[in-house]
Amino acid sequence: MTKMQQFDVSRLSSYVEEHIESFHGPISVYKFPQGQSNPTFRIDGSSSSLVLRRKPEGVLLKSAHAIDREYRVMLALDKTEVPVPKVYHLCTDDKVIGSWFYLMEYVDGTVFSDPALPGLTSIQRKHVYDEANRVLAAIHNVDIKTNALCDFGSTGNYYERQVSRWTKQYRSSETCVVKPMEQLMGWLSKNIPEDDGRTSLIHGDFRLDNIIFDSDSLEAIAVLDWELSTLGHPIADLAYLCMQRRMKRDLFIPGLGDLDIAELGIPYEEDFLSRYCHRTGLKEVGPWHFYLACSFFRLAAICQGVLKRALEGNASSDYGLELGTMVEPLAKLGLKASKN
C-alpha cells in the first residue's frame, strides 16, 4: 500500500471520529493497489483501522461507481451466510473528501491475485476453489425478500438488458475500433437465450481476488467489491468466475488456460459446476457457451471503461492503462466461447 494524501486528512479524521464512536485519531491514510473502479484506502487510527471506499474523481459514466449500492447490499448481507466486512457509515456529502464514500471494517487475511495459487499445495488449492464455490452459492441462495433487496434491480430478461447496457457503456468509452469486439457484440445481440425466470442477488464481479481468505484455515471470510451487484441471472456470476480457465498465463490478467489444473488440484469445470448446482438446487446450467461469451464481453467493456478513465486522468491507478490491453484478447475469447 502507498501512503496517500488525496484529500484533507485532518477534515476526514474529524468526520470519522464524529460518526464512528469507537474510532480515534490521529489517522494515516494508505491507498490499496486494488480497486480500479472505486479507489480504496485503509484508514489507521490510534488503536484500530477502517477501510474507506470512494467514488473516483472526474466525469463518470452514468450508473457506474455506485458506492451507495455497495453500502446497501453489504448492510443487508450482514446477517446472512455470505461473509462481508461490516459497514459502518455512508457519506453522501461531497464536501468531506470530494466525493461520496463509505466506511467499513478492515478484514485482515489473504487475497489471491493469481488463480493458479502459487505457494499452496494441491489440497489447499482445491479447498480455496471450493470455498469460492460455497460463497457464490450462498450469495445466490440469499432470500431477497427477507433481506429487503426486492427492489435492488430489475427482474426478467437479464441477458437482454446486460447486452444492451454494456454495449452502451462500451460505446461511451470507445477509443478505437476493435473488430473482435464488434463481432462479439453482433453475435450476442442475435443469440440472447429465452428468459428462464431465474433471478437472484448477483455479485457482478465475482473473482478469487475479490475474496479475503483466512491466512491459516483458507476459509473465505469476506467478499469485497460489490459495486456491480444487482438482481439478475445467477449463472452470470458463475460464468464470470470460470473465464480465467480459458485465459492464458501471458495475458495481463493471467489465467489457467495453459496449465494442468488437475496436477495443481484445481477442480475441473464440470465438477465445479456440479458442486455449485448441488449447493443451489439447480438441475442444469443452461446455454453455457452464451453465458461465457457474454461474460468475456462484459469484462472487455469494463476494461475499456477503465482505459478511457486512465487516458482522461481519472483512473484510480496506473494499472488502468495496462488493463486496456485486455479488451481485444477478451473479445477474441468471447468469440471462441460462442462457437463451443
Q: SS in 3 state form for the chain?
A: CEECCCCCHHHHHHHHHHHCCCCCCCCEEEECCCCCCCCEEEEECCCCEEEEEECCCCCCCCCCCCHHHHHHHHHHHHHCCCCCCCEEEEECCCCCCCCCEEEEECCCCECCCCCCCCCCCHHHHHHHHHHHHHHHHHHHCCCCCCCCCCCCCCCCCHHHHHHHHHHHHHHHHCCCCCHHHHHHHHHHHHCCCCCCCCCEEECCCCCHHHEEECCCCCCEEEECCCCCCEEECCHHHHHHHHHHHCCCCCCCCCCCCCCCHHHHCCCCHHHHHHHHHHHHCCCCCCCHHHHHHHHHHHHHHHHHHHHHHHHCCCCCCCHHHHHHHHHHHHHHHHHHHHCC
Asked whether residue 309 is domain-assigned, the answer is yes
Minimum mean pLDDT range among 16-25, 84-93, 133-142, 326-335: 16-25
Interatomic CA distance for residues 231 and 201, integer angstroms: 5
pLDDT computed for residue 55 by the predictor: 87
- State yes or no: pLDDT of 36 exceeds 90: no
149 lies in the same domain as 84: no
- State yes or no: pLDDT of 63 exceeds 70: no
Angle at 276 between CA 295 and CA 287, to 5 degrees: 45
Minimum mean pLDDT range among 20-24, 57-61, 79-83: 57-61
pLDDT computed for residue 58 by the predictor: 57
Asked whether residue 116 is domain-assigned, the answer is no
pLDDT computed for residue 149 by the predictor: 97
pLDDT computed for residue 38 by the predictor: 85
Sign of CA dihedral 304, 306, 311, 314: positive
We report the CATH number of the domain holding residue 238 as 3.90.1200.10
pLDDT computed for residue 317 by the predictor: 58
- State yes or no: pLDDT of 316 exceeds 60: no
Q: What percent of the chain has pLDDT over 90?
A: 82
Q: What percent of the chain has pLDDT over 70?
A: 93
44 lies in the same domain as 179: no
- State yes or no: pLDDT of 59 exceeds 60: no
pLDDT computed for residue 1 by the predictor: 52
pLDDT computed for residue 208 by the predictor: 97
Minimum mean pLDDT range among 99-103, 146-150, 153-157, 311-315: 311-315
Greatest mean pLDDT among 64-73, 133-142, 148-157, 319-328 = 133-142
Mean pLDDT to the nearest integer, 173-195: 97
We report the CATH number of the domain holding residue 77 as 3.30.200.20
Asked whether residue 145 is domain-assigned, the answer is yes
Interatomic CA distance for residues 5 and 143, integer angstroms: 41
For cell 435492488, name the residue: 152
More confident residue, 152 or 34: 152
Which residues partner with 43 through β-bridges? 29, 50
Asked whether residue 136 is domain-assigned, the answer is yes
Minimum mean pLDDT range among 1-15, 100-114, 272-286: 1-15
- State yes or no: pLDDT of 2 exceeds 60: no
Asked whether residue 151 is domain-assigned, the answer is yes
82 lies in the same domain as 164: no
More confident residue, 56 or 130: 130
pLDDT computed for residue 56 by the predictor: 77
pTM above 0.85, yes or no: yes
Q: Which three cell numbers stand for residue 62?
A: 452514468
Interatomic CA distance for residues 266 and 125, integer angstroms: 6
Number of domains in the chain: 2
183 lies in the same domain as 298: yes
99 lies in the same domain as 126: no
56 lies in the same domain as 187: no
What is the overall mean pLDDT for the chain? 92
- State yes or no: pLDDT of 47 exceeds 90: no
Residue span of the structural domain in which 78 resides: 2-105
Nearby residues of 26 by Cβ (< 8 Å), 6 or more positions away: 13, 45, 46
